[in-house]
Amino acid sequence: MREMAVVIGIGLIAGAGCLWPLGRIVGNRLYGVAPVDPLTTVISMLQFATIGSTAALVPARRATAINPVNALRCE
């Protein structure tokens, strides 16, 4: 989970960095939302973090349920 948290964090930082330059381009196509709306930005970043964490949690829980000795055995 720690590795996925790093990947999610890097993705959120990269997305926030791209938000400012690309905000003007997308701003013309959005109705009723400013190009860089803080509330919309925070909500969407929380959604991405939640989806990413959930996607990482399912395989991590499955991996903890497996006995490591059985996983390494070649049968």
Estimate the crossing angle of helix 38-64 against helix 2-27, to 10 degrees. 150
Beta-carbon contacts of 53 under 8 Å, excluding residues fewer than 6 positions away, are 1, 4, 5, 8
Rounded to whole angstroms, the Cα distance separating 50 from 56 reads: 10
Show the domain range for 12.
Answer: 2-72
Name the residue among 37, 49, 43 with its Cα closest to residue 13: 49
Does the pTM of the predicted model rise above 0.85? Answer: no
Number of domains comprising the chain: 1
pLDDT, one tens digit per residue, over 37-75 is 788 888 989 999 999 999 999 888 888 888 888 778 776
